[in-house]
Amino acid sequence: MLTAIGMTASHTAALAAAWTLQQGQGYGYVTTTASAASKAFDGTGTQQRIPRYRKVESQAWIEYGITDWFTVIVSPSLQYVDIAAPIDASRTGLGYTDLGGRVRLWTDGSWVVSAQTTVRIPGTYDKSNVAAIGYTDPEIDVRGLVGYSSTLGGLPAFVDVQIAQRFRLGGPPDEFRADITFGIRPQERWLLLAQSFNVVSEGTGSWGYASFAYHKLQLSAVYALTSALSLQVGGYTTYAGRNALQENGLVLGAWFRF
């Protein structure tokens, strides 16, 4: 159970894409996810009952174009985690804060290839609290991003693929990550998103951390209230995994330009 909590503790909305912003342009979103798990995948991928796990997390992801090809990133978060008896643990406070940037390497209009690196600073170093497992050690996320925009059935659409190496310091094993986003606009004000988040550990870690894997599917809709403000609603589920929580969650968000 403790291994499963630590391995799936960090879920990022991953709405950032391969495209960089124009110089002087700002973009961001604030999302709140509320999730729960009463089952976990064991080492064979079979679901087993566990003490109820609940998490509410709010994250702000802010980008700003320093140049047309370099975008800086700041992303703080707040969280509440509660685990039922017999573990009976809870935590409220800062989650990870990401600091980094994205560099555009190549583009031809429809295609874009970028590289991104963020340093993830933990909101707590208290390893004695079970509810803090997975949030107590620094991480470094290095990823390559490929974006393609076109039309599908005459409707504007895009695909964003991100392949990442996440270095986790202090005990948990490093991770290979693959995030895929498909977006389509059925109407001018509406954007529909289908996202796949896939994480596989690279071996085992120290301090008793086992190897793990999990795969999440997220579906959401975004409605543009104005040219500068949009609202998002959606949900996600962990549909497969190994030594990982079977989480189901609701996503609410606001996107903005400045």
128 exposed, middle or buried (CB, 10 Å; 0-12, 13-18, 19+)? exposed
Query: Which pLDDT score, from 0 to 100, does residue 82 have?
Result: 97
Residues 6+ apart with CB under 8 A from 144: 113, 114, 115, 116, 162, 163, 164
Query: What residue spans define the domains of the chain?
Result: 2-257
pLDDT in tens, 201-239: 999 988 778 999 999 999 999 999 999 999 999 999 999
Distance (Å, whole) CA 176 – CA 225: 37
Per-residue pLDDT at 206: 80
> Which pLDDT belongs to residue 134?
84
DSSP 3-state assignment of 204? coil
Q: CA geometry: angle at 134 spanning 129 and 138, to 5°?
A: 110
Would residue 45 be called left, alpha or beta, if left means φ above 0 and alpha means ψ between -120 and 50 degrees? left
Residue 15's pLDDT band (boundaries 50, 70, 90)?
Answer: low
CATH code matching the domain that covers 2-257, chosen among 1.20.1580.10, 1.10.565.10, 1.20.1540.10, 2.40.160.40: 2.40.160.40
Return the closest-CA partner of residue 146 out of 105, 199, 175: 105
Quick one: pLDDT at residue 106?
98
- Tens digits of residue pLDDT in 115-173: 999 999 999 998 889 898 888 999 999 999 999 999 999 999 999 999 999 999 988 99
Q: Can you give the pTM of this predicted structure?
A: 0.93
- Give how far the C-alpha of residue 137 lies from the chain's centroid of Cα atoms, to the nearest Å: 17
Tell whether omega for the bond before 86 is within 30 degrees of 0, i.e. cis.
yes
Is the model's pLDDT at 12 over the cut of 60?
Answer: no
